[in-house]
Amino acid sequence: MKKLTRFLMENRDPDYREFFLPLVPGIDPDTVIGVRTPVLRSLARQYRSTEAAAEFMQDIPHRYYEEVNLHIFLLSYEKDYETYIRKLKQILPEVKCWASCDVIRNPVLKKHTAELYPQIQAWISDSHVYTVRLAIGFLMAYFLGDAWDPEHLQLAVSVQGDEYYINMMIAWYLATAMIAHEKDVMPLLENRQLIPEVHRMTIRKACESFRIPAETKEYLKTLR
Question: Nearest 5°: phi and psi at 154?
Answer: -65, -35
Q: Report phi then psi at 70, rounded to 5.
A: -60, -40
Q: Please enumerate in sequence order all residues whose Cβ is within 8 A of that of 161, keeping only pairs 6 or more positions apart, or say none.
A: 167
Q: Where do you find CATH 1.25.40 in the chain?
A: 114-219
- pLDDT score recorded for residue 24: 97
Q: What is the pLDDT of residue 2?
A: 81
Residue 151 has pLDDT above 90, yes or no: yes
Q: How would you classify residue 195: left for phi > 0, otherwise alpha for psi between -120 and 50, otherwise beta?
A: beta
Q: What is the predicted pLDDT for the residue at 129?
A: 98
Question: How does pLDDT run across 49-67, given as a tens digit for each residue?
Answer: 999 999 999 999 999 999 9
- The reported pLDDT for the residue numbered 206 is 98
Q: Which CATH number fits domain 114-219: 1.20.1630, 1.10.287, 1.25.40, 1.10.8?
A: 1.25.40
Q: What is the pTM of this model?
A: 0.95
Distance CA 188, CA 17 (A): 40
> What pLDDT, on a 0 to 100 scale, did the predictor assign at position 1?
61
